[in-house]
Structure 1
Amino acid sequence: MRIRVIGAPIDLGADRRGVDIGPRAIRYAGLNDQLHRLGHTVNDVGNLDVPLPENQPTGNPRLKYLEPITKLAEDLAHTVSDALAEQEFPLILGGDHSMALGSISGVASKHKNLGVIWVDAHADFNIESTTPSGNIHGMILAALAGLGEEQLVNVCGWAPKIDKNKIVILGARDLDEGEQRLLREQHIHVFTMSDIDRRGIATVMQQAIEIAGADNGPIHLSLDLDSLDPKEAPGVGTPVRGGLSYREAHFAMEMLAESARLVSMDVVEVNSILDRENATAQLAVELTLSALGKKIL
C-alpha cells in the first residue's frame, strides 16, 4: 500500500493544550520506519500550518475558534482528496479530534458511500445548543452527519458528509445529556463499553464493520487514543476510566484490517505533555500498524 502521512497539529478544538505535539510524537515513536518494515511505501508530506490559540480570537464561547477550525478543515480536506486521487492511503495524525471534520470531508468527496467507525470514549455528537463546553472537537461527528452550526456542517460546500446509518461509535463511556438525546433521536449506532463487556470485542467489532461497511462500502477509521483505558494510554487530554484494553484495541484493529474495507484513517488526541515516556504515541503506532495489516503470526 502507498500511504500518505499528513500531520494536522491542531490545538484549537479542546481546552487542554498539548495535542499539537501529537504528530511529532507519533513520528518520533517510529511510525514511518515501522510502516516501511510492514511493506508499505510511505510519503510523509509533513504538517499543515495551524495557528496557535494565543494568536486567534476565541469567538463565540459556544463555538470556540470556529473560523480557524473550519479553515483547517477545508485545507485538510483538499490534502486528503489529493492523496486519494493519487492512489495513496491517507493516514492523518492529530491534533485534537476537530481535524476529522477535514479528513472525513476529504475522503467522503471521493467515496460517496463512506462509512465511519469512530473509536472514542466520547461521541463528539454535540451541537451548539447542547455543548457544555463550547469545544468544537465535541461537535465534529454531528457536523459530519449534517447537524449543528452551518459553517461546520457545510465545510467544502456540501452536506451531510456521512449517511447517519453508516456511523458507528465504539467504546463510548462519557456522553453529555443533550448529546445522548441527539444520538437517540438520530438513531446513531453506539457500542458502549458496557456493550463490549457484555458481548465481547469480536462480536461488537464484526457488527460495527457490517454497519459502517454496508453494501460493500469503504470505511474510514477515526481512532481517538482516549478510547483506551488511561492505564494503557495516559497521554490524552480527556481520559476516562474503564476503556478498551490493550488487546481489545489491537484485536479491533486486526479485524478491521482483515475486512479489507479500510480506505483512510485518523489517529488523534495524543497529548505528549501528559504522556509518560512517549508511551501513548508508541501505542498509537502499534494500533496503526495493526489496522494496516500487522499480525502476530
Structure 2
Amino acid sequence: MLNSDPLWPRAGDWPAPVGDEWADVALIGMPTSRTSLSPTQAHTTPNAVREMLRRYAALTDLRIVDAGNVREPDLHEHSAIEAVAALRADLVVALGGDNAATVPTALGRWGDAVGSAGLITLDAHYDLRDGVTNGSPVRRLLEAGLDGRRVVQIGIEPLANSLAYAQRARDAGITVITRDDLRTRPMDDVMAQALEIAGSGGGPIHVDLDVDVCDRSVTPACPASVPGGISAFELRVAARLAGAHSSVSSIDLVEVDAASDSADERTVRLVALCVLEAISGAALR
C-alpha cells in the first residue's frame, strides 16, 4: 500500500469528463492487441499505467480528466474514433495497447482536418505494412488522407525494417531520422525539426510514442524493441516537448505489454513518466 502524505499529492485517479466541460488534458485507454504481429497482452497496459501513475507526484493544477478505456477498440474502431472525438480537451493522451491505437486516436482528433494534419512517430519501425495490424497505422493514415510530406519518423532502426518499406517511406515523402542520426543530434533539436515539418500544413499534430524505440534494456515489455535504441530520458524529453507544443492535439503511448514487464516494472514506469512529462509540457503552453 502506498503511503499517504498530504504534502505530496499523487498523480492519477483523475475524474471522468463531465458533459461539455473543457479540460486541459484528457486521458483515454485504447487497449488494442487483437491484431498484433507478435503475441501480446498489450490490452492490460492502460490500467497498469494508471496504477503506476499513483507512485508519482501531481505537480500541476491543470484540469485533467480520465475517460476510461474504450471497449474493444480493435473490433469497434469507429466507436473508438468517436470516443476520442467526443473528448473536449486541449491535449488527449491515449494509453495503448499496441500501435493499432494510433489510428483511432489520430483520426478522432483530426476529424475533417486530416488533409492539413501532421504526424510524428518515435518508433523503431515504419509501420507501413499492408493489412490492418499494429504494423500498418502509418500506411492507413496516409490512405485516410494524411500528406506524407508532413510525417516525420524518428528512431527508425534500418535492420528491423525491410528495404521495401524504406522505399514506401521515400515514395510517400516521409522525413526519416534514423537511430544513427540520433547519435549526433539532441532530442530537442530533432523534435523542433519534426514539429516544424508536421505542423507545416497548419493543422493538428498527432505524436505516436512507440516505446519500442527505446533500448531493450529499458523496455523489456516491448516485444519488438531491440538493443541500441534511444534512452528512457530521451523518450521523456520527446514527450514533454510534444506536450508543450500548441499544435499537438494528441499523443499516444503504445507497444507495451504490461503482462510481460520485468519484476521492477521498468517499462510501465517509463510510460507513466512519459504521461506526466506530456502533462508537464501542456502546463507550459
TM-score, normalising length from structure 2? 0.82
- Percentage of identical aligned residues: 26
8 Å contact from structure 2 (residues 27, 93) kept in 1 = yes
1:140 alignment partner in structure 2: 137
**1:226, distance to aligned residue in structure 2 (A):** 0.7
Q: 2:20 aligned with 1:3, yes or no?
A: no
Within 5 A, what are the aligned runs for 1:1-297?
Answer: 1-14=23-36, 15-30=38-53, 34=57, 36-50=58-72, 69=74, 71-83=75-87, 86-87=88-89, 89-109=91-111, 111-112=113-114, 113-128=116-131, 136-146=133-143, 159-160=144-145, 162-173=146-157, 174-276=160-262, 277-293=264-280
**After alignment, is 255-264 or 172-181 more displaced?**
255-264
**1:175, distance to aligned residue in structure 2 (A):** 1.5
CA distance in 2, matches of 1:9, 1:191: 28
CA distance in 1, matches of 2:67, 2:281: 23
The number of equivalent residue pairs is: 256
Task: For structure 1, list consecutive stretches of 5 or more residues without a partner in the other structure.
Answer: 51-67, 129-134, 147-158
1:120–1:220: structure 2 CA closer, same or farther, 3 Å change rule? same
SS in 2 for 1:222: strand
SS in 2 for 1:145: helix
The residue type equivalent to 1:121 in the other structure is A
RMSD of equivalent CA atoms: 2.4
Task: For structure 2, list consecutive stretches of 5 or more residues without a partner in the other structure.
Answer: 1-22
Runs of 4+ aligned residues of structure 1 deviating over 4 Å after TM superposition are 31-34
1:177–1:252: structure 2 CA closer, same or farther, 3 Å change rule? same
Cα deviations by residue, 1:6-32 (Å, 9 ceiling, x for unpaired): 112121121222211110111011169
Q: Which has the higher helix share?
A: 1
1:33–1:197: structure 2 CA closer, same or farther, 3 Å change rule? closer
1:139–1:31: structure 2 CA closer, same or farther, 3 Å change rule? farther
1:20–1:249: structure 2 CA closer, same or farther, 3 Å change rule? same
**1:89, distance to aligned residue in structure 2 (A):** 2.8
TM-score, normalising length from structure 1? 0.79
